[in-house]
Amino acid sequence: MHEFPEFIEEEEEEEEKDWPRMVRLDVIEYILRRYGILRAPDLAHVLDWKVREVNRVLHQLESSGRVKRTKLGRSYAWSSVEEPHLTSMYY
């Protein structure tokens, strides 16, 4: 019988611990790709999260190059770096 090396088991344990953070990143990135430009309070309202939590995730996504921030008045609006597949929603 062939045994797997130890390093594979260690990687699986790290992925299991990190999956909630990855889900948060993916959820916000998906919403921005689907609906276009949104502000952090809008995302927080939709997801029922605190604005501080949303901002933390948005800054992580920005530092990894997955979303971009645009100055909008006194606040910021966030959008996906990828081109949206649908037309933008203006309001």
Encode pLDDT of 10-66 as tens digits: 555 556 678 888 999 999 999 999 999 999 999 999 999 999 999 999 999 999 999
The dotted CATH code for 6-80 is 1.10.10.10
pTM for the model: 0.70
Q: Which residue ranges make up each domain of the chain?
A: 6-80
Q: What are phi and psi of 69, to 5 degrees?
A: -110, 140
Positive or negative torsion for Cα 23, 62, 80, 83 = negative
